[in-house]
Structures are given as structure tokens and as C-alpha cells.
A and B are shown apart, each in its own frame.
Chain A
Amino acid sequence: MPAPITKHFLPLADGRQIHYRRAGSGPPLIIMHPSPNSSASMINAINAFSDAFTCLAIDTPGYGISDDFVDDPDMLWGYADALAKFLDGLGIEKSFVYGAATGAQIGIQFARKYPARIHAFLLDGNGDFTGDLDIAPGYFQDVTPVRDGSHLIRIWDMCRQLGVFFPWQSMRGADRVNTDVGSPEGIQRAVNDYLRAGPGYKKGYYEAMRVEKWEYTRQVTVPVFMARNESSVLFKYTQALIDKGLPVNFTVLNCDSRTRYPMQLTALKGWIGDRTFPAPKPSPADTSATSRMQNMYVKARGGFLRARANLTGKGRPIVALHDPAGSSLLVEPMLVPWIGKRPVIALDLPGNGESDNVIEPANITSAAYAAIVNDALAGAGIDQSDVIGRYSGGPVAMEMSFAKPSLVKHLALSGIGAYEAAEQKTLLDNYTPSVAPVWDGSHLATAWAMMRDQGLYWPWFNRTRGGIVPSANGIDVATIHLRVTELLKVGDQYQKAYAAMWTYPMRERLPKVAAPTLVCMPAWDPIYAKMAECKAFAPKVGTADLPAKMADWHAVIDPFFAT
């Protein structure tokens, strides 16, 4: 069994954060991933090295869930500086470094600028692109969100064709990759990484291609072990680099994808010999004193739940829970006005957003979500809170208070209601079509159209005159894109999350909530009428109209929390 992998954020001086995975013990080994992926794509490498090293696999700034704070992407120098800051933040003076593809190029620039900070350097998936002008034209497509959702198809095409041609946009028989096309699930994972990086995905990726040249690589003076991987799609570029001649500090490891990690490990161990190198200190806290909303992990059930949080305020924390297909990003705007006044935490529920899927798939209920959230908050040392639940977050918040009454001092429930049998059936049958990845990417069209139509009709599949929602802006591209992005992360588990909400026995449970409860909705909410129904069957609860914009909701909720 490889050492367990933990996940962390390193806050920098200005509050922006680098996300990284950590595993193992021993001297530090920085691991850097290809573009436009994240440290998640390096888990096999982490597992291969964590016996002998403390693996620190970072998400390159702007990729994965690291903030983008690189102002000088030219020639990757800003990324090399970011790596130096990362080492500084962890108190590491000198480290081993492993870079794959873009990660290799960042490592090369780091090694050129900061040679004193590398013990030895593993290069993988690197080569020489000098003179190969076929790669860049058309390689980087514009993926800015557009109203018809076709930017998703563009990303899908790029990710899929990586398994058909290299460069992916080629149509030449000579560039055909001799492999099976990726599975739809695998392609979707790559698509999700593009979505995380956003339209700026080419920022570091493009610079990495520009610097992938013999003239720069050969200037590395630290000890290098370079993989010559015969099964890599980049093999011919690696060979081209070797053919130009490498300095004596380079050792070439002839390998294939199967033998690569063992050979790299052996080479490093051989270089180390009898010497010992200090291990890094434990990771510091995820968050810092800042006015920003930051990322934070809370542990639950052996996994990590991602939260968007700011803990600088005083008093009871305010916890916000999102809707079935959403994530903390969808409720974050409502918390921002409390920053500095109260601690605020928006959690990604298990399986949603960036949280590990620590919920039992066969038992997805509001109570099951609540039990995990309660564990997570307890683990984070939170024993009292005010909770805001949006849509399905409402029943979860209620169940939190049933399971642990002392934890929940106030409940603000937005968009909750009782769904009667006939309504439940219609919604269960129609509301949540599968968005599981399919070979042609057509699930992306479904996901986009559904999230678009949620702004146009209620329920969204009732595309008749009777279903029209009088929305002020029926096609808000940025919102649709965010919702689709989060939907694709949770995938078809959103079906169960929605079902849990609709089938929740609201009529029975709401009257039993002991904590002060406010049911609240903006007038535009298509289920606004359910608020009055709630008041009718649970007379104890308060009700309130919320302002149209979520960023203004605190004006109504804050006085209620003060009661």
C-alpha cells in the first residue's frame, strides 16, 4: 500500500493559494504535471515515489485549483518563480524535482534560474520542438464560453483527439497515435481540467511549448535523469533532443511507460547513495489572514471536502450548503458580505465540486450528507454555527440540526418546499437526465441545454407557454457555464442528490426543527409559492423575501442570525 495522499493549500503573502497533494516521508520531491491537467494526473507518480520521498505534487498556478498569480508567463519564468515561492512557503531550501511535459519545462527554467535549490532533477515527457512548426497553429483553441455551448464541444474535440493524433489537431496519417481512443470518462476528466483552467488554459501550456528546445534544456547544470520513454506520444521529440547532444550532467533512462517509475526511483536512490537529506516540515494551515475567500480542506470519512472559506471574522461561523448539481462556488457570493465580520464556510458536499466522494453511493439522503458535514465541522473544531441551505442544502441543514442540535443555532433555508407525490414523480422522471460521458460528447449538449433552460422554464423540461419563467436575463452565459462545469464534476450522482431533495419529508420534518428557522426566497424563484406552504404546515418558521441578487441576501439573513 502506498502512503496515503493528503491535500493542502499553501497560502501566499497576498492570500492566493497553491494547491498540492502530499504523501510519504523523506527528502522533498516536487512533482509537476503536464498541461492543462492538475496534480490529480500525477497520482501514479506520487505512489511510485512516496516510499522514499515526501512527494509534493503541485497544481501549476492557474491550473487545477491553484490560483493564477503568475504575472510573467513569458518563457515560464513566472512559473519558476512560483515554484520558488512554494518551496519558501514550505520552508524547503533545496529539493528533488520531477517534471512531466509542461512540468518538465517549468522545472528546466527553475533549474536554470535557481540551480542551488535542486538536488537532482527527473525529466519526463520532454524533448525538442525546435523547427516543428506543425504543432502550434490550431493547437490552442479559444474556449471562451458562448451562448450555444459550443465551447464545450471544442474542448471535447481537443481532449478526445489527443488520443487520435499528435498534435491533436492534425489530420495526417503520419501523425496518427497508435492507441485506442480514450474512454468517454477519461476524456471527461481531461475536459474538467480544461474547465478548471478556463479560457486561460494556454497561458503556461503555450509557453512550455515555446521553451521546449534543446538550447534551453542543455543549459541545466544540476544532475538530471531524463526518461526516454518509447511508449510516449512525444517520443520523437525526446529522441530529437537526445540526438542534438546532452551535457554530461544528463543521464538518459531508456524506458517505457511500464518501467519508467521504477527506473527513475532507482536512479535517484543511486544518486543519493548514503547521503541523507532533511524532510520538509508538516504542511502549514490552508488559510491565512486575508480579505479574500480562500480554499480550505476539511476532513471527513477519510477524505477531503473542499470549502470556500474566510475565517478572519469573529463569532459563530456561517456555513452555506449548495444545491444538488452545484458546489460552494454557487453559494459563495452570499457569504462575501460577512467576510471579516463572521467566519464563513461554503462546503462542497461529497462528490460535488472538488470534494472527495465520501458518501455511500447507495445511500444518498439529506441525513447522510448531514452526518458527513457534521463530522467535517467537528473535525475543523466548529461546535456552533448558523447554517444557510440553498435548495437541497436546506434539508441537509435541517438534518444537521436534528443529528446535533447544539451545532446549529439558526437555519436560513432558501428555495425549500414540500413536493407532493404527483410533482415528485414528474420531477424524478424528467428533471435529471443522464449527463454521463458518451463517445460523441453529446452529453455536453444535454448538460448545457438543461442548465440554460433552468433559467427559462419551470420545471426546465416544461418548454411550453405554461412553463415560462419571467427571468430578467434568460441566457446568462457565465452562470450557465459555471453551473455546467459543476454539474459535470458531480456527474450522474446529481440525480440522487435531486431525488433526496424532492422526496424529503418536508411536511413532517420542518415543523420539528428546534433551531430558529427562516424560510426565505427571492420573488423570482419559480417555487416561491412553496414558501407560504411551508409557513402553513410549519407555523413556527419565519418567512422572508430575499433580494433578487444573492450578494444582497445577507441584508435579510444577518438580522435573523442576530436574533
Chain B
Amino acid sequence: MTIKRLFVPITGAQLMVRRVGEGPPVVLMHPSPQSSTFSIPMANKLAAAGFTAIAVDTPGYGLSDPLVGGYPAGLDRDHGLDPFLPPLVQLLDSLGIAKAAFYGNATGAEVAHIFAYNHPDRAAVAMMDTAGHNPDDEVDKITAGYFPDVTPRRDGGHLLTYWDMCHFLGIYAPWQFTDHEHRLQVDAPNPERTQRVMLEYMRAGPAYPTAYRPAFYTAKGHLISRLKVPATLTRWEGKPNLAEIDALIAYGLPLNITVLRPGPSMDQRFDASVDYLVKNYLKTGTPAPKHPDQIDRTAARLQKVFIDVPGGQVFARVCMAGRGRPILALHDPAGSSRRVESLLTPYVGDRPVIALDHPSSGESDKLLTREQISTEAYAKASWVALDSLGIKEIDIIGRYAGGQVGLEMAQQRQGAVKHIVHAGVQIFTDGERPDLLANYTPSIAPTWDGRHLMTAWGMMRDMALFWPWYNRTKSGIVRRDAAIDGNTVHARVEDLLKIGDAYQNAYAASFNYPMAERLKASTTPNLMADLPGAASYSRVAMAKAAAPNVQTADLPDDIRAWRGVFDKFFAS
């Protein structure tokens, strides 16, 4: 049994779930901010015990869309998690689940008991692993300073705010306290772990407190004790702060809430809940959930989808509505499908469009090791994904190195690629290569002090200011308006951090690609296009000189107008 990531359509949005097993459904809700990644060990245990585990990314976290219409203002503390209930009801509906067991950790436990109270007909059991009881004034103290603002700043300093918070989650509890009494007597987290936590925060973005903050306030005896459905409370010995859970037990729980008392290990903690479900829920014979389509194939909007390929899954943004040959957009080495979305937007509804995250980039599984990364491997993986979608013939729009991948795809399947647009041309002379290979891709591996974040930020910002970005002299100046605002640079840095130092291999593959040779030999029409003000503009002419068979075009400043240029070419 392999755990899989899937999108489930709900009203106006998509929720991501991890699904594994076949049997009565158990819905798993994760702690804040995190995602269903946290739930993987428990999901696998449940699957092995005969259940279907549905581990949900809470709306606004992981890859789930945020709450449709936003988080409403003016909710009182008892109702702070209520806005998360309708999407969960819709999730059950989409999966054809009449009634499921709910299991949650921390924030997830809060969501589970609030859901079960409000929808007793949809919750067979509510399992809280772990919850607690904290008076409001205590919670006020804990949450003061707990949620710093991480809105992207032009200087990248918000990355240090993220890093500080994620690192100190392993030093103090609550993390922002600084007195010795609240110091955790443990080793500091290693940089890799801090970065994993940080990427979860970055996926949630500045809205990361949306479920996190209200969950602090629903951990209350008067809310939990009103549950009418069967429920469990896990009193796990390994929990650092047992006092708050004991306070909840001391508050007085009704008989329908069973207290589970596992020993200190993680296995003991999870097994206690699995055992309970096996004894009390498995035999109900509740049917396994349906397998709904991840996307609405008739909807004229880009939707997220995971595509099964051998060994794992590839992430894509697609719109299948419209007629004619699908268009595939391919991103550059440190990017993701998000960075080519704007190229496809003008076609949404008119022609089917697909943007893939290369394997090991963005949200795709790490299907390629660093050493396996090559233009050929990217091309092959793209075909595997397209096969899975049943797509045989395509036009390609490649951003920089994406165009090279397109060329390889055409080479790998003669006649299947009808046109290739190179939006930004990646062609280099032999003289340029050694310098680029040596300097373009410094390590951004996690460091103890978070300084790699400054390197990543400085590099992604300078790519808009200089060519090559590390030539910070007069001769390197890119003389045009520079998109170095916080949000733009942040999106690029987030993608970069996801691929990590494997981006060095991806760039090397692109720098070393025999572009001139491949263009000359290409039997597919190639359009080399760029903005006249761009640093890379001269490469259009370089490509034309090297391969007179290619076509060239200037792109207008407004990206929404690029379609006009592409359409002329596609019609040729």
C-alpha cells in the first residue's frame, strides 16, 4: 500500500489529502502549521489495520486552498474553528463518506472535536491526540508574540523571522518565551529539520495563524465535554506539557470520552488510537470512500492535480476545458509550475493547458536524485506524466531551460511535439560555460544560523538586477524596471528552497545542453522569443545565428499579451 497525494474538489476550491488503505474511513487532521505530512506515520498504521486513511491538509495549509471567502471577522473564541467545518463536510460529500472517524493532533484534535460536536451525524468517533484545557488568560500569555508577521519584505528579513520561529520551536515552549523555566531540555533542532518546518510555514504563508490561533482557545473543558459522539483523549506520556491535559481530565469528562494512556514512544502513542479504532470502529463495516476525479474537467480554471507515475507522483496545474491541442508549459531550473502559470492563463478555457513541476522540483516527489537530473530525464518524466493524462500531441511553451526540455521531448517522440516556444532562450557559448558553472549556483543548503536564506534571497533578487546575477558591476546592470518586491522574490526563493542544492545540477544540465546543435537538428518549429529589454534578449539572435531554421519574435512588456505572439507561431 502506497500513500498518495490527491486533490479533492469542494465548493470553489481544492483540498489536498493523503490517502492510503482500503476500509472504513478515518480522517486525520494535523497540527499547526504543518500539513498532512505529519500524519503519514499514523495513516500508514491505520491502513495496515484495515482502514482508509484520509489525511487532510487543513484549508490554507499544505497544498489545500485557503477558506473560500477568507476567514470571517468577529468570531468569538468558542467558534474560532467553525469556518473550517463546511470545507470538511464538503470533503466527506465529495468522497461519498456518510460518516467517518476523526483523528487529530493538537490543532487537528481541536478541529476534530469541534467538527464532531457540530456534525454528530458525520463523525463516528472524535479522537483527540492530544488536547488540553487552558484558561483564556493563560492562552493570552502564550499567544502574545507567538505569531510574528512574516509578510514578505523587500530585504528578505522575513525569512529570518520564519527561521527564528521554526528554530526556537525546538528550544523553548512556547517558542518566543526566553526564561529558563520554559527552555526545552533537548538538543537544538538541526538545520534540515528547521528548514522542513519552515517550508510548511511558507506554504501557509502570512496567514499561518488562521487555524493555529483559534485552536489555542478551543482547548477548553466546556467545549470538549459537550461532545455527544464517542470520543477519545490521548494522555501520551511523551508529551512535554502533561499538565494541560491533566487539567482537561480534571475538568471532568463525560463517559463517552475514553482517556487513552499510552507510554512515551511515538509508536505507543499512535498504536493506542489504532487499537481503539480496531476495537470500536473497524467492525462497523463503514464502506471505503469513493475515488472522485481530482479536477473538474469542464471547469475553465487552472486546478492542481497529482499525476501518478512509476515510483511516485508529479504535481501539475491543469485546465482540461477547451478544444484543440493541449499546451504544456515547462519551468526553469529553480522554479515550479507556479512560475509558468501566467503564460497559460490567457489560454484557460480555450485550449487544454498543463504546467508540470519537474520531478524533485516544487511539489513533485523526489523521483530524480541530484545526479539523475538532466534535460533528458526531465523530458522523459514529462512524457510519463502526459501519458498518464492520456495526452499524445502537444505544443510547448518553455521558460528558459524549459525550452530545452521541450526540445528533448520532441526528440524523444518524433512528431508528438508540434511547436516549441522558447520564452527566454537558454543558449551559451563554450566561453561562457565555465564561469556560469563555477558561480551561478552557490550552495543554499540549510545552515545553523539561517544565512543560506540570505544567500538564496540575494541571488534571486540580483537575478532581476544583473546578468549574470553575480556580476554586480556596471557591466552587469540589467537596465529595466526590476521585479524585486518582496512577494516576487519570495515566490522564487520558496521554489528554490524546495529543490534545494539539486538546483545546481538542474542549472548545470541547462548550461551544458548542446542547444545550437539540437536546434539545428530539430524538425519541430522553434520560436525564440524574449523581451527586448531583457538581459537574455541577445540570446534570441545567438540562437538564430546558430540555427537559421528557428523563428524569432519580440515579446511585449505585458505578459498577458504574449499569447498574440505565440498564437501566430502555433498557427504556422
Pair A176/B477 contact, Cβ less than 8 Å: yes
B453 within 8 A of A: yes
Measured CA separation A337–B448 after assembly (Å): 40
With A153-B454, A445-B450 known as contacts, the answer to whether A463 contacts B155 (CB < 8 A) is no
B156 CB → nearest A CB, Å: 6
B522 CB → nearest A CB, Å: 35
With A149-B160, A157-B154, A176-B477 known as contacts, the answer to whether A440 contacts B458 (CB < 8 A) is yes
Pair A475/B186 contact, Cβ less than 8 Å: no
Number of interface residues of A (CB under 8 A): 44
Contacts of A473 in B (CB 8 A): 178-179
With A147-B164, A151-B157, A171-B483 known as contacts, the answer to whether A442 contacts B180 (CB < 8 A) is no
From 148 to 178 in chain A, residues with beta carbon under 8 angstroms from any chain B beta carbon are 148-151, 153-154, 156-157, 164, 169, 171-173, 176, 178
A262 within 8 A of B: no
Pair A471/B180 contact, Cβ less than 8 Å: yes
Contacts of A443 in B (CB 8 A): 451
B153 within 8 A of A: yes
Measured CA separation A178–B465 after assembly (Å): 12
Measured CA separation A441–B472 after assembly (Å): 14
Contacts of A440 in B (CB 8 A): 454-455, 457-459
Pair B163/A148 contact, Cβ less than 8 Å: yes
Pair B473/A442 contact, Cβ less than 8 Å: no
B323 within 8 A of A: no
Measured CA separation A465–B187 after assembly (Å): 5
With A169-B154, A173-B480, A445-B449 known as contacts, the answer to whether A179 contacts B474 (CB < 8 A) is yes
Measured CA separation A472–B183 after assembly (Å): 10
B192 within 8 A of A: no
Contacts of A169 in B (CB 8 A): 154
Q: 1/0 per residue B164-184: CB within 8 Å of A?
A: 110000011000101110010
- How many residue pairs link A and B with beta carbons under 8 A? The number is 113
Pair B188/A463 contact, Cβ less than 8 Å: yes
Measured CA separation A172–B464 after assembly (Å): 12
Contacts of A179 in B (CB 8 A): 474
Closest to A155 in B: B155
Closest to B187 in A: A464
Contacts of A556 in B (CB 8 A): none
B387 within 8 A of A: no
B185 within 8 A of A: yes
A222 within 8 A of B: no
With A176-B477, A179-B474, A471-B180 known as contacts, the answer to whether A449 contacts B449 (CB < 8 A) is yes
With A446-B451, A463-B448, A465-B186 known as contacts, the answer to whether A150 contacts B477 (CB < 8 A) is no
Q: 1/0 per residue B438-480: CB within 8 Å of A?
A: 0000000000111111110111000001000010111001011
Q: 1/0 per residue A281-320: CB within 8 Å of B?
A: 0000000000000000000000000000000000000000
B418 within 8 A of A: no
Measured CA separation A457–B188 after assembly (Å): 10
B161 within 8 A of A: yes
Measured CA separation A449–B450 after assembly (Å): 8
A450 within 8 A of B: yes
Pair A156/B185 contact, Cβ less than 8 Å: no
Pair A181/B455 contact, Cβ less than 8 Å: no
Pair B465/A164 contact, Cβ less than 8 Å: yes
Pair A181/B472 contact, Cβ less than 8 Å: yes
Closest to B470 in A: A439
Secondary structure at the B interface, as helix, strand, loop or mixed, is: loop
With A151-B157, A178-B474 known as contacts, the answer to whether A441 contacts B448 (CB < 8 A) is no
Q: Which of A445, A448, A456, A474 contacts B453 (CB 8 A)?
A: A445
B275 within 8 A of A: no
Closest to B450 in A: A445
Measured CA separation A146–B163 after assembly (Å): 13
Measured CA separation A218–B470 after assembly (Å): 45
Number of interface residues of B (CB under 8 A): 48
Secondary structure at the A interface, as helix, strand, loop or mixed, is: loop
Measured CA separation A449–B165 after assembly (Å): 13
**Residue in A439, A470, A476 with the greatest tally of chain B CB atoms within 10 Å:** A439
Closest to B456 in A: A440
Closest to B480 in A: A173
Closest to A151 in B: B157
Closest to B189 in A: A463
Contacts of A441 in B (CB 8 A): 454, 458
A366 CB → nearest B CB, Å: 29
Pair B183/A474 contact, Cβ less than 8 Å: yes
Contacts of B183 in A (CB 8 A): 468, 470, 474
Pair B481/A172 contact, Cβ less than 8 Å: yes
Contacts of B370 in A (CB 8 A): none
A180 within 8 A of B: yes
Measured CA separation A448–B450 after assembly (Å): 10
Q: What 8 A-B pairs are tightest by C-beta distance, nearest first?
A: A150-B157, A440-B458, A157-B155, A148-B164, A449-B449, A442-B451, A463-B188, A442-B454
Q: Which residues of A contact B (CB under 8 A)?
A: 146-151, 153-154, 156-157, 164, 169, 171-173, 176, 178-181, 439-446, 448-450, 456-457, 463-465, 468, 470-476
Q: Which residues of B contact A (CB under 8 A)?
A: 148, 153-158, 160-161, 163-165, 171-172, 176, 178-180, 183, 185-188, 448-455, 457-459, 465, 470, 472-474, 477, 479-485, 533
Can you list 23 A-B pairs with a CB-CB distance of less than 8 A?
A: A146-B161, A148-B160, A148-B164, A171-B482, A173-B479, A173-B481, A180-B474, A181-B473, A439-B472, A442-B451, A444-B454, A445-B449, A446-B451, A448-B449, A449-B448, A457-B188, A463-B187, A463-B448, A465-B185, A468-B183, A470-B183, A472-B180, A474-B178
